[in-house]
Amino acid sequence: MKHRIFKALFAAGGTGGHLFPALAVAEQLRQRTGGEALIEFVGTADRLEATIVPKHSYRFHAIPIAGLQKLISLDTLKLPLKILRSVMQSRQILQRLQPDCVICAGAYLSYPVGLAASQLGIPLFLMESNAYPGKTILRLAPRATKLFLSFEESLSYFSKREQAKAEITGNPIRANFSATAMPTKEQARHFFGLAPDAPTVLCFGGSLGARSINQAVNESRERFANAGIQLLWQTGANFQALHPSDATTVILPFIDNMAAAYSAADVVVCRAGATTIAELACIRKVPILVPFSLAANDHQTVNARAMQEQGAALMLTDADVNDRLFDTVTSLLNDPARVAAMEERLGAVAKPDAANRIAESLLKFMGWGDENVGKMLKNT
């Protein structure tokens, strides 16, 4: 008799912070079932998941859901209809796939999929990457079978009943950001054409860049050069540096090999997205976090503050990064003992096995523990 294949549907996308943790868990589910799991994804057609998910060999379904606009517009007025259509399409996808479970990784697209799963009685698992849970996760939590949280601070936002369903797993990261997969500092600096021995700062703000970080680097660039500090600077697609790359500053609009970029740096200046923080913690790279103050619920500030209070990061606001960036960076680079202490705290915060823990917990909760997986692989 042919064995039953474990089937799962993920709702994840909009940003890499939602998509990549879901992909990391999906890969662990694949591995734990010997490649026999049937995994599909739901997202939107105009965001990164539409191109990235198929590259990982998962079937992708697009639904018409969109985020709520702050200003009244035609799109805002159409939103209820888009939600209804998205729930109906999600129900159709679920009825065809008949998955064992649905995993939602947050953002607005998770809501219609999670609601449809709940309506059809399909076990619903939620993944929350940020310390301040998103509105979608909070709304779906009463319907959830289990919640996987990255920060213990998140618990206070849920009811007692919801807390009982929660597990603090950490935020899943991609396999190429594990300590064993990273290139050496020497290899990484050679890759980017950086001097092998000079103190190095990586500055970035995502694929589109971060205006406050870019402006601060532009203003401080000469001071860094005079201090013998070299910069690896990802500006994003929408920012033009005042001067091109030179002997002390390597400027790129986008960095494909972030593992090498992290390895090249002594200190990192970046936004406070949950996935970035998880990656930096796992490789023990000290960050100066500049949270995006306009993010939903100001969740990046909550993330950054949680890391700073644990002694694992420093935080600068968008308002003060321009004036304080150089002094904050140099104070770290001139204090190796402080850096070492922060690296130790990062190691304590890190949960490099988060994707594995979520996959294991999910499979066991669904009755697909090691014993059942073993039987499945024997084709009994």
pLDDT tens track for 33-68: 988 899 999 999 988 899 999 999 999 999 987 655
Distance CA 129, CA 154 (A): 9
The DSSP letter of residue 130 is: S
Q: Give me the pLDDT at residue 52, please.
A: 93
| CB neighbours of residue 102 within 10 Å | 28
CB atoms inside a 10 Å sphere around CB 293: 12
Q: How far apart are CA 251 and CA 242, in angstroms?
A: 11
Tabulate helix, strand, coil % of the chain (nearest 5). Answer: 50, 15, 40
Q: What is the pLDDT of residue 74?
A: 53
For 118-139, the pLDDT digits (tens) are 999 999 999 999 999 999 999 9
Residue type, 229: I
Contact 20/43 with Cβ under 8 angstroms? no
Model confidence at 72, pLDDT cuts 50, 70, 90, reads low
What is the Cβ-side half-sphere exposure of residue 97, based on CA atoms within 13 angstroms?
27
* Helices 354-365 and 16-32, packing angle to 10 deg: 60
The chain-wide mean pLDDT, for the chain, equals 90
pLDDT tens digit sequence for 87-101? 999 999 999 999 999
What is the token pair recorded at 210? 């971060």
pLDDT at 159: 98
pLDDT at 377 over 90: no
CA 190, CA 207: separation in Å to the nearest integer?
A: 23
Sign for the pseudo-dihedral over CA of 72, 77, 80, 84: negative
Q: What separation in angstroms does the CA of 330 have from each of 196, 199, 225, 261, 266?
A: 19, 10, 12, 19, 11
At residue 107, the pLDDT reads 84
Percent of the chain with pLDDT over 90: 77
The pTM of this model reads 0.86
Comparing CA positions, the residue from 356, 349, 43, 54 lying closest to residue 175 is: 356
What pLDDT is stored for residue 75 in this prediction? 60
Q: What is the pLDDT of residue 76?
A: 55
Instruction: State the pLDDT confidence band at 16, using cuts at 50, 70 and 90.
Output: confident
Res 206: pLDDT: 73
Q: How much is the pLDDT for 238?
A: 84
Mean pLDDT along residues 98-109: 93
Across 42-46, 233-237, 263-267, 361-365, which has the greatest mean pLDDT?
A: 263-267
| Domains in the chain, CATH or no CATH each | 7-173+352-377 (3.40.50.2000), 176-349 (3.40.50.2000)
Q: Average pLDDT, stretch 317-336?
A: 97
* DSSP-based three-state secondary structure for 278: helix
More confident residue, 145 or 295: 145
pLDDT of 378 over the 70 cut: no
